[in-house]
Amino acid sequence: MRKVMVFGTFDGLHEGHRAMLKEAKQYGDYLIAVVAQDHMVMHLKGYLPQRNFSDRFEHLEKADGVDKVVIGDAEIGTWNIVKRYKPDVIGIGHDQHMLHDDLKKSLKNLGYKPEIVMLHYEEIDKRA
């Protein structure tokens, strides 16, 4: 089984999110979506999500193609969620530059080397 992992705030599941999830699922058989905790969203984006964490998590659990939804790390750069689930592929969104850069720097600390793919769903992304 080939596992794929994606990260996001998922603050209102819109067509851009659906396209990202569909594209990510094409890289494997099992899609794990990691939902960012509120304090991490504030740190990375400078504002809190409009929807609370529970709502964001629950909506994602109902999304087509998502096999598992998990809570994101509580601290930037630890990549504990990646170490725990060991996805074969990590899908990075077109607007997740900081995530991509940190992941590339942290690869040696993961204990294995997942494939990193850039997802190209921006044409229909309305709000990241």
Place of tokens 């494939």: 115
Q: 51 in helix, strand or coil?
A: coil
Give me the pLDDT at residue 120, please: 80
**Number of domains the chain is built from:** 1
- Domain that includes residue 29, residue range: 3-124
Tokens 């794990």 — which residue? 32
Specify the pTM.
Answer: 0.91
Q: Are 122 and 17 in contact (CB under 8 A)?
A: no
How high is the mean pLDDT in each 10-residue block of the chain (128 residues)? 97 90 97 96 92 96 96 94 98 90 92 93 50
Q: How far is CA 5 from CA 47, 48, 92, 113, 126, in A?
A: 24, 23, 9, 13, 22
For residue 124, what pLDDT is reported? 47
Q: Which CATH number fits the domain that encloses residue 57? A: 3.40.50.620
Both structure tokens of 14: 């819109």
